[in-house]
Amino acid sequence: MWHRWISLLSPKGFLRGTKFWARVLGVLAILLMGYGLFAGLFLVLADYQQGDAFRIIYVHVPCAMLSMSLYFAMALMSFSTYVWRLKIADMLAANCAILGAVFAALALCTGAVWGKPMWGTWWVWDGRLTSELVLFFLYLGVIALRSAIADAFKASRACALLSILGIVNLPIIHFSVNWWHTLHQKSTLLGLHTPTMADSMLWPLLASMAGFCCFAAWWVIQNTRADILSQQQAIDKRGCA
């Protein structure tokens, strides 16, 4: 059992071991996102307080969740890169940074669209929004740092350090609504309480979140596979030359 997981740490093993699961994740992403978004946007009844404006949660919540989850995954891969110098971990971290930046931007944009009818403004400098913006800039910093350093080894080490240090922002994002006075509502899913949403709203949201997670895993795996194949082709060309 363990040798199968260990084999994923090598480029060839990763290509073999993820081929089937990438397809499974892709199918699950389509099914779960399809159900969650269709039910949430068209079938669920309007909220008694927020009306139809609440429907943006079926996009905003998964994006916000993944912006944090992908950063945690990136930091974990970066730690593996820094300590054990795993090439696959560095590739995974690089792809997590790209997708994480996209989800952080989407979380900020959809949050602004939601905030305008609820708060009367597109943006407020409260704890949750500001710390999420910091997360977005951390992603951009990691991406820019990797591009700015020509030496691949030095670039991976520098990005790993920045990723690991930046993880302190994650608990700030999560607990900011409890630590400080904020317009942002408190969590309805996570915490020491049962979800405060009706089941008719909750299940499509959970499906959407699961679908977005499957899509993120599929995207990172597929792009890492593409990076491995691209590097192998470059090596083969140099060998032929």
> Does residue 192 have a pLDDT over 50?
no
pLDDT reported for residue 50: 87
153-182 mean pLDDT: 92
Nearest by Cα to 33 from 199, 195, 204: 204
Task: Give the residue among 57, 55, 60, 36 at the shortest CA–CA distance from 109.
Answer: 60
The domain limits of the chain are 23-233
User: Where is 185: in which H helix or E strand?
Assistant: none
Q: How far is CA 175 from the centre of its chain?
A: 18
CB 132 within 8 A of CB 104: yes
- CB-hemisphere CA count at 13 Å for 5? 2
pLDDT by residue (tens digit) across 66-91? 999 999 999 999 999 999 999 999 99
Q: How far apart are CA 123 and CA 109, in angstroms?
A: 10
**Mean pLDDT value of segment 211-234:** 96
Rounded Cα–Cα distance for residues 153 and 90 (Å): 10
181 token code pair: 């006075």
Residue 118 confidence (pLDDT) above 90? no
* Overall CATH class of domain 23-233: mainly alpha
Reported as a single tens digit per residue, the pLDDT across 128-148 is 999 999 999 999 999 999 999
Six-digit token string for 26: 């892709």
Average pLDDT of span 106-116: 94
Give, as one character, the DSSP assignment of residue 52: G
Instruction: Indicate whether 212 pLDDT > 80.
Output: yes
Q: Whole-angstrom Cα distance, residue 227 to residue 41?
A: 36
Q: Which two tokens stand for residue 171?
A: 């608990």
**DSSP tally for the chain: helices H, then strands E:** 8, 0
Residue 181 is predicted with a pLDDT of 72
> Do the Cβ atoms of 72 and 170 come closer than 8 Å?
yes
Q: Cα–Cα distance between 179 and 177 in angstroms, integer?
A: 6
Model pTM score: 0.94
Q: What is the pLDDT of residue 3?
A: 59
Rounded Cα gap, residues 78 and 98, in angstroms: 14
pLDDT category at 4 given cuts 50, 70, 90 is: low
Residue 237 reports pLDDT greater than 90 = no
Condensed to tens digits (0 to 9), the pLDDT of residues 15-40 reads 999 999 999 999 999 999 999 999 99
Mean pLDDT of the chain: 91
Task: Measure the CA–CA gap between 218 and 25, rounded to whole angstroms.
Answer: 6
Question: Is the model's pLDDT at 55 over the cut of 90?
Answer: yes
Confidence check: pLDDT of 2 > 60: no
The predicted structure's pLDDT at residue 191: 53
Residue type, 132: E
* Residue 213 confidence (pLDDT) above 50: yes
Q: Is 148 exposed, middle or buried (0-12, 13-18, 19+ CB in 10 A)?
A: exposed
190 falls in which pLDDT band (50, 70, 90)?
low
Share of the chain above pLDDT 70, in %: 92
